[in-house]
Chain A
Amino acid sequence: MKYQIIFTLNNEKVQHEVEANKTLLKMLREDFDLTGAKEGCGQGECGACTILVNGKPVNSCLMLAVEADGKEIVTIEGLSDGEKLDELQKTFITNGALQCGYCTPGMIMTAKGLLKENPTPTVDEVKVAMSGNLCRCTGYKRIIEAIMEVVENNKN
């Protein structure tokens, strides 16, 4: 049986029919071809599937697709406006805050959620807030620096 849901996806209202036994991540990837969010563990441990639901970062692998009903969802694909990148996307590039890139969309979405709630966190707060997103390549240094660059801009 399929369930009808209505939600906002990257600023567009969508209506969709989905099976109950499908995760939100799977629906985004398979039904909407939004493959920026990745499945790295399926247990909410790695953060590669992070998206914003009602402005807050969550693991989309831990939500059922039907739970999206009535929600406002933003994925990495919704962060940039055409070729105009979000500040975080820009600083991730300029700081070299990525290597293989697999964790990058999730990293950026978590950082986005954090800065929405607190535009000027301390570096220690950022390190803790990002601890739900695993990266095996970078050693995190440049990721934290990229986020802190946006934080510094927010202070001005």
Chain B
Amino acid sequence: MVKYVGKSITRVDGTKKVTGDLKYVDDIKMPGMLYAAVKRSIYPHAKIIKIDTSKADALTGVKAVTTGKDFPKRVGLYLADKTFMAVDKVRYCGEAVAAVAAVTEEIAREAVKLIEVEYEELPVVENVLDAMKEDSPLVHPDLGDYKHIPIFHTMPGTNISEHFKLRKGDVDKAFEDSDLVFESDFYVPHIQHCPIENHVAIAQIDREGIITVWASCQSPYAVRAALTDAFEVPAHKLRVISPSVGGGFGAKAGTTLEGIIIPLAMKTKGKPVKLTYSREDEFNNSYVRQAMHSKFKTGVMKDGRIIAVKNQFAWDGGAYTEYGVNIAKSAGFGAVGPYDVANIHCDSYAVYTNNPVGGPYRGFGMSEIHFGIEQNMDYIAEKLGIDPIELRRINAQKPGGRTATNAVVDDACGLLECMDKVIKDIDYYTPSEQPKEPYKVRAKGFACGMKAPSMPNNAASSALIRINEDGTAYLSVSAQDIGQGSDTALIQIAAEILSIPPEKFTINTGDTAHNPYEWQTVASRITYSVGNAIIKACEDIKQQLVQLASIKLGIFPRDLKLEDECIMSTIYPDKKIPIKELALGLNMPDGSGVHGPIMGRGIFVPENIRNFDMNTGLADNPVVFWTYGCYGVELEVDMETGNIRILQVASCFDVGKAINPDLVKAQSEGAIVQGIGSALFEEIIMKNGKFMNPSFMDYKIPTSNDMPEMKVSFVENPQKDGPFGARGMAEPAMIPAAPAIVSAFYNATGVKINELPLTPERVIKALKGKNN
């Protein structure tokens, strides 16, 4: 009988968030704090000939000025291709070239204006397809010298920093055997995460040389790793604190502005240096979701079976792809989406351009590839005269089937169940009721999606639990609650096993000096990975408590259980001892003590996750899990203005086990609206390497009045190694959004759109194209 897991308990962080009490990094004020400002490149691609900081140095109130030359070491998560400030050339418009710390923000900005940079412009690599051509100028001519994790295929002498190859079966033969072969291509533009909190960080170095960084970041340990590498300081002398994060979605997964302020802090004798990004900085200088071109050639049989797919994904990774290489790789091994295809030939390329730096964004490449995969399914269904849902059912990955990398699909794949649920919730087969205005059309659409965490095979988690003398507990982890509710869900897991009610826990996160290791808060892996570590910490505590209770009660450990905050006999329930009486160890009748304070330690690393074959991309167990699900959408198109209104969305995902059903649903709801944004409004407009719309004035995200009716649900086919069967779902929950919307659009208008977003203008253009 579970007591706390599976229950929609109220978020533990509500009060501090509704009162304004919670302090985010920008809310921190420290004595003597200095403010940083950054000189940024005005060219997308140029050699730095000279930087003259003398006037800035001389300005009253300026305490430090730095340039990229101060720390020229290249670092990066998967590929060491970046420096925190440009060293000898700039590779995108907005790249940091120098930084200033001053007593006020105004002086820092004034000083930045006084820095003179002489550039020699280089030819701009604007477009990923051009960047892949042999004669393209190179963004990173030294790519061959960069260190990288050996699982990546860089291609020195080109702009390609990762080429992931998937070769399964024999596509050429399969195309010959196919009844029909289809070709199609798609484009997804750059978009941005738009957390409401912009990036911000503070760095301070004390006289012992200990660097403390307060950063709004998803992954304090990953930030520490990047910074200790770049600045060559030992890990115990670099403390990263992330007190709270105002939204991440991947934008705050990496290390960006932290690396700009540390060199300043090194020069300012103990004074904290703060850098707060403006919204414009956030758009241009944090991360963007990479743009991507996809091409598909699909071989099908008349009965609907897809027997061959040859496809290519070309990712516009921007100026640096330290993180982006892994997105390209994920796309490559996701290749064909949630379908079981015997013959696959997939090439996925991370490509340098002079565009803003690409990075992780909710979905990690899966939203982008599914945009094409799912439209392709609709296209094939129509050509074959098969119902598009039926076509998906025929080809869906099912338990016992095979993934793209030829791994066996286990029982945890509930895609068909999710489809049934969504078809019913959106009433898919009942045609939309048409509005009275003759120029408006309504229709429904559908799409599937899937995602696996894409991370190093040994991405680890850990947890420490300390029992206080009154029977309350501290749960210490380095999972960051970036809004998804992990603080609440993780407490529920610990509460369940220790039988201590959730309100008796305080969770501590976000401090590398005090809380144990966590690889990263990304990849929808926290409930799974940290949850597992917590279970182990709880088991550790339980074992200690049972041992002590056994001494105290004189009962064999095998006859003891943990229930209702007590260790009790399984045979004589009145024989028991409360946890709190054991919290500091056991007191013996003679006054002596045994054991000491109860602390639980839990560590976790997924078992037997192994690399892909470097030549074929095949792997029998390359990821911890796949999460499957789907969307049904109903929309209304104004055929004259091109405006689209999403009326209702139903979504369902196989979450394994919902630790907190309300939090799961809340993730689904947020994902739907974010997905609507990516489908209808969001697009970074680049012109000659310049970001043309870096503001909420001209980059629109959905408002409360764009929200559709939402019917979100989940099914629970347990994850075999998940805590209580749970697996990640917060990213997968967004993936089918754009293709489902485009599918409904097609059903409404009969017009195909293979490029996002469906702005009124693009819609009208497409509709006019059809009429001509």
Contacts and interface: CB of A to CB of B under 8 A. Distances in A.
Interface of A: 21, 29-30, 33-43, 45-46, 48, 75-77, 79-80, 85, 88-89, 92-94, 96, 98-105, 108, 126-128, 130-144
A75 B483 contact: no
- Listed residue (A34, A76, A131, A136) with the most chain B CB atoms within 10 angstroms of its CB: A136
A124 B361 CA distance: 31
A29 B666 CA distance: 30
B417 interface: no
Query: Closest 10 A-B residue pairs measured CB to CB?
Result: A36-B20, A102-B246, A100-B483, A99-B483, A101-B17, A93-B14, A45-B696, A139-B669, A139-B673, A35-B27
B700 to A, nearest CB: 9
Given A39-B26, A134-B196, A134-B696, A96 B19 contact: no
A100 B707 contact: no
Most buried by B among A33, A79, A103: A103
Contacts of B669: 138-142
Given A41-B279, A77-B20, A137-B483, A143 B674 contact: no
B18 A98 contact: yes
Interface in B242-273: 244-249
Interface in B12-65: 13-24, 26-27, 29
A146 to B, nearest CB: 10
Contact of A139 (B29, B194, B672, B697): B672
B14 A136 contact: no
Interface string B634-666: 000000000000000000000000000011001
A72 to B, nearest CB: 18
A16 B707 CA distance: 42
A136 B17 contact: no
Interface in B184-200: 193-198
B674 A96 contact: no
Interface string B182-223: 000000000001111110000000000000000000000000
A139 B670 contact: yes
Nearest to B700: A45
Interface residues of B, number: 55
B674 A139 contact: yes
Contacts of B27: 29, 35
B20 A34 contact: yes
B682 to A, nearest CB: 11
A102 B672 contact: no
Contact of A103 (B196, B244, B695): B196
Nearest to B279: A41
6 contacts: A46-B196, A77-B19, A102-B195, A136-B195, A139-B669, A140-B702
B367 to A, nearest CB: 15
B615 interface: no
Interface in B656-715: 662-663, 666, 669-674, 695-697, 701-705, 707, 710
Given A99-B483, A99-B485, 8 more contacts: A39-B26, A40-B279, A43-B279, A96-B663, A100-B246, A104-B18, A133-B703, A140-B669
B381 to A, nearest CB: 29
Interface in B528-556: none
Nearest to A40: B196
B14 A99 contact: no
A96 to B, nearest CB: 6
Nearest to B649: A139
B434 interface: no
Contacts of B608: none
Nearest to A103: B196
B10 interface: yes
A85 B15 contact: yes
Nearest to A146: B18
A79 B15 CA distance: 13
B485 to A, nearest CB: 7
Contacts of A144: 704, 707
A100 B485 contact: no
Nearest to A99: B483
Contacts of B19: 36, 76-77, 79-80, 85, 89
B703 A134 contact: yes
Nearest to A102: B246
Contact of A38 (B10, B15, B246): B246
B659 to A, nearest CB: 14
Contacts of A34: 20
A36 B705 CA distance: 25
B383 to A, nearest CB: 35
B517 to A, nearest CB: 23
B701 A134 contact: yes
Contact of B22 (A101, A103, A136, A137): A101
A93 B10 contact: yes
Given A43-B697, A89-B18, A139-B710, A99 B484 contact: yes
B672 A127 contact: no
Contacts of B69: none
B278 interface: yes
B670 A138 contact: yes
A52 B197 CA distance: 21
B697 A100 contact: no
A98 B196 CA distance: 13
Contacts of B122: none
Nearest to B674: A136
A142 B673 CA distance: 12
B11 interface: yes
B233 interface: no
Given A29-B27, A45-B697, A136-B674, A127 B707 contact: yes
B114 interface: no
A101 B704 contact: no
Interface in B483-506: 483-485
